[in-house]
Amino acid sequence: MNIYKRLGVKEMINAADSYTIIGGSLMPDEVIEAMSEAARAFVSIEELHDAVGKRLAELTRNEAAMVTGGAAAAMAIAAAACMAGADGELAGKLPCAEAGRNEILLYSCQNNGFVQAVRLTGAKVIELEDRNPDSDRQLREAITARTACLLYFVSTQFERYAPPLGDVISICRERGVPVIVDAAAQLPPVSNLWAYTEMGVDLVIFSGGKTLRGPQNTGLVVGRADLIAACRAHSSPRSSVGRPMKVSKESLVGLLAAVERYVGLDQEELSRQYEFAVETICAHARRLGLRAERLYPGPTGQSYPRAALYPDPSCGYTAESLQAELKSGEPAIWVGLSEDKAAILVNPLHLQDREIALVCDRLARLVG
Ligand SMILES: *Cc1c(COP(=O)(O)O)cnc(C)c1O
């Protein structure tokens, strides 16, 4: 009997997304094996951070990199790094609202629940007005001696509302203000691991437990060597604001194994698998009399497709009730819902081959 059965906890099929509430993603065997190997000996955590960071920087074509305890932890640590640098004395003082540079700039439309993480340092978030004809001047005026950095989310959801990243980078560069990009879920394409830093972003954050399929509680920060060194100063094992966001030796090597695997994958083959899943489910839904279409790109602009299935009244379900019915079945199937609630959305990112047929069977039973 597997551990979840023994505990009486229901397993589910993830046709939704890399959601933390259902466990994010599944670690491939390479990752599990690396973690299990790492669990068998003591090492210096600082030395392991150095070695793993160096290798991650090479793999992601960046000057430097480090592992954090999740992308949200990376946001807090990167904020601390920009507020206090690698200065040992100031590092010890955070969280501190009076730290030298304690303001973080952010466009209003990009303010979401994850931003809470940067406030752990004592930083104040200063909201900038969304894109308008005066955006450049407003950004220049918002930058003061108290500005620690600007935090920017790259997502097609905000593209229309926030000034383009390229413009923001050039203004911040003029003033020596680091730009941090939250790209937690922005994979694929794999090239995003280096594309933002090539554009001039100072630090870029990815979730280790989403598309990368590393340990759930890991994040990856890539970018400028001096800022990564400062991030290390604000992280465990050092006494710092980041000390509660500890990364274990197992997680350190686990994320490295995940990134090694991910950059080595045949991306075209992976993309064919996503297309196959979406095409199979759309074709099946059409045979059941549902309207179905392929959506592209992914929810925040990633380069993968999804299937949108539109139940009509004759099948006895609305999209919402069909979503709920799939979730309450055995095994539970998690799917998304379109913003207008007209369609259920099937995301292929974490759907395993054998699960495609299970999703099709359940749909046939419910609406067939
Ligand atoms: C998921 C996500 C995070 C948090 O990532 P964790 O690795 O779960 O901490 C932060 N920002 C954005 C935009 C995300 O999608």
CA of 5 to the centre of ligand 1 (A): 29
Q: Which of 68, 65, 76 is nearest to 223 (CA)?
A: 65
Identify the segments of the chain with pLDDT beneath 70: 99
Q: Whose CA is nearest to atom 11 of ligand 1?
A: 184
Start-to-end CA distance of the chain, whole Å, equals: 33
Q: Whose CA is nearest to atom 5 of ligand 1?
A: 71
User: Is the minimum distance from the CB of 182 to ligand 1 under 6 angstroms?
Assistant: yes
Task: Decide: pTM greater than 0.85.
Answer: yes
CA of 113 to the centre of ligand 1 (A): 10
Predicted local confidence at residue 74, as pLDDT = 98
Strand order in the sheet with 12-15: 12-15, 332-337, 344-346, 306-310, 291-295
Predicted local confidence at residue 368, as pLDDT = 84
For 195-227, letters b (16+ CB in 10 Å) and e give: bbbeeebbbbbbbbbbbbbbbbbbbbbbbbeeb
Predicted local confidence at residue 87, as pLDDT = 76
From the alpha carbon of 183, which atom of ligand 1 is closest?
13
- Rounded CA gap, 181 and 194, in Å? 12
Pairing of strands 12-15, 179-182: unpaired
Predicted local confidence at residue 93, as pLDDT = 85
Instruction: Indicate the top mutation candidate among 20, 75, 207, 350 to test ligand 1's pocket, ranked by most ligand atoms within 8 A of CB.
Output: 207
Instruction: Indicate the top mutation candidate among 155, 182, 220 to test ligand 1's pocket, ranked by most ligand atoms within 8 A of CB.
Output: 182
CA of 72 to the centre of ligand 1 (A): 6
CA of 207 to the centre of ligand 1 (A): 6
Predicted local confidence at residue 222, as pLDDT = 98
- Rounded CA gap, 13 and 286, in Å? 22
User: Is the minimum distance from the CB of 338 to ligand 1 under 6 angstroms?
Assistant: no
Task: Specify the 3-state DSSP secondary structure of 307.
Answer: strand
Residues with Cβ within 8 Å of residue 199, at least 6 apart in sequence: 165, 166, 169
Q: What is the pLDDT of residues 184-225, one digit of tens each?
A: 999 999 999 999 999 999 999 999 999 999 999 999 999 999
